[in-house]
Amino acid sequence: MSDSFLELKNLKKSFAPGEAVLQRINLTIRQGEFVTLLGASGCGKTTTLRIIAGLEQPDSGSVWLEGQDVTALEPNQRDVNTVFQNYALFPHMNVADNIGYGLKIRKAPKAEIKKKVKEMLELVQLEGYEKRKPSELSGGQKQRVAIARALANNPRVLLLDEPLGALDLQLRRTMQLELKRLQKKLGITFIYITHDQEEAINMSDRIVVMNQGQFEQIGTPDEIYNHPKTSYVAAFVGNANILKGTVAEKNGHHIKVKLGDEVASIDTEEKVNVGENVTVALRGEHILLEENGNLHATVKEKNFAAGQLRVLLTLPNGDEVTASRFGMNADIQPGQQICWRFEPKDAVLVDRPKGGTN
């Protein structure tokens, strides 16, 4: 497996003077890898994908596919296919003709097209649907046809721009599993766009977290979720609370951090000095509301969201944190004074200077 199957080198792009949409991005993708670009709306995900597809030209930088600079090649000269959120099926053509379209354009023999269409219908589990028009299909079925149509061209890379965005949650989860299964079976490199952290974590070999035209962090789902490097990644992917503190004590990997007038223990591999200001990321589910907790807070609000009880706490220094839990004590009431704590291993120091680990 080559380490540099697809490479983005120093890509820059702006659509208006002084407004950089991509700020010198670099990425190396292995053959057969499932890589997800994850980020908020407008951060440059689609622009990156369009440049890889050849639908957009970068201002500078280059795109390499299997050691070849493809930056100047037309979209149809690269072995790259794209699946869009809105399916983009031809409405007047039936399913079979939609799937076989790319092969027909390339003047493949009829028998070959027929064989390929059959193979693709099996792959996306739509046998028997070949004569239907797109208007006679559900959203999930349309998206499967769009995927089959893209795969029928035997692309070396499949680009997927929020392909499940229009589907309801349940179908979306089923399709996530199907897509992942397909990708593993075919061994094709997938570059997938989403702004849904759960989808990215479920499907990807690696996630690229984008923020304002830059790559904040590139890593496995475990690295991104459990070891965020920046407060942006911690907040965007793990919904973490971000706290500012000062290192009060240091004993090897164990440090004590002052958060206002209170002190919390944190385990870290980061190189820190006593007196240094640090930024701490702490996920809501790691906040333990316990009577013997060494930290204090006042309950500001509580609500249920996404099956979890969330409690907004005001700390003595005025900072706010959100604790979240399944089955957390529902008796907690706004205005109540409570104690809380967290395990030293559960807090992560973020926004560190580069090369700062012990």
The residues that touch ligand ATP, with contacts defined as CB under 6 A, are 15, 21, 39, 41-47, 195
Contacts of 347 (CB under 8 A, 6+ apart): 264, 266, 280, 281, 282, 286
Distance CA 37, CA 210 (A): 7
Minimum CB separation of residue 25 from ligand ATP in Å reads 12
**Is the Cβ of residue 46 or residue 141 nearer to ligand ATP in the bound state?**
46
Q: Confirm if 320 and 330 have CB atoms less than 8 A apart.
A: no
Nearest CA to 25 among 170, 191, 173?
191
Minimum CB separation of residue 252 from ligand ATP in Å reads 42
Minimum CB separation of residue 47 from ligand ATP in Å reads 3
Minimum CB separation of residue 171 from ligand ATP in Å reads 20
**Is the Cβ of residue 98 or residue 143 nearer to ligand ATP in the bound state?**
143
**Is the Cβ of residue 84 or residue 340 nearer to ligand ATP in the bound state?**
84
Nearest CA to 280 among 260, 261, 266?
266
**Is the Cβ of residue 17 or residue 252 nearer to ligand ATP in the bound state?**
17
Sign for the CA dihedral angle at 181, 184, 185, 190 comes to positive
Distance CA 255, CA 268 (A): 7
**Is the Cβ of residue 16 or residue 169 nearer to ligand ATP in the bound state?**
16
**Is the Cβ of residue 28 or residue 85 nearer to ligand ATP in the bound state?**
85
Minimum CB separation of residue 55 from ligand ATP in Å reads 10
Minimum CB separation of residue 99 from ligand ATP in Å reads 26
Distance CA 222, CA 8 (A): 24
**Is the Cβ of residue 21 or residue 150 nearer to ligand ATP in the bound state?**
21
Q: Confirm if 311 and 322 have CB atoms less than 8 A apart.
A: yes
Amino acid found at 307? G
Minimum CB separation of residue 188 from ligand ATP in Å reads 22
Distance CA 200, CA 184 (A): 16
In this structure, what token pair is assigned to residue 78?
């690269």
Minimum CB separation of residue 291 from ligand ATP in Å reads 44
Q: Confirm if 90 and 37 have CB atoms less than 8 A apart.
A: no
In this structure, what token pair is assigned to residue 196?
């849904």
Minimum CB separation of residue 232 from ligand ATP in Å reads 14
Q: What's the 3-state SS for 60-106?
A: EEEEEECCEECCCCCHHHCCEEEEECCCCCCCCCCHHHHHHHHHHHC
**Is the Cβ of residue 15 or residue 90 nearer to ligand ATP in the bound state?**
15
Burial annotation 188-218 (CB, 10 A radius, 16+ → b, else e): bbbbbbbbbbebbbebbbbbbbbbebbbbbb
**Is the Cβ of residue 46 or residue 324 nearer to ligand ATP in the bound state?**
46
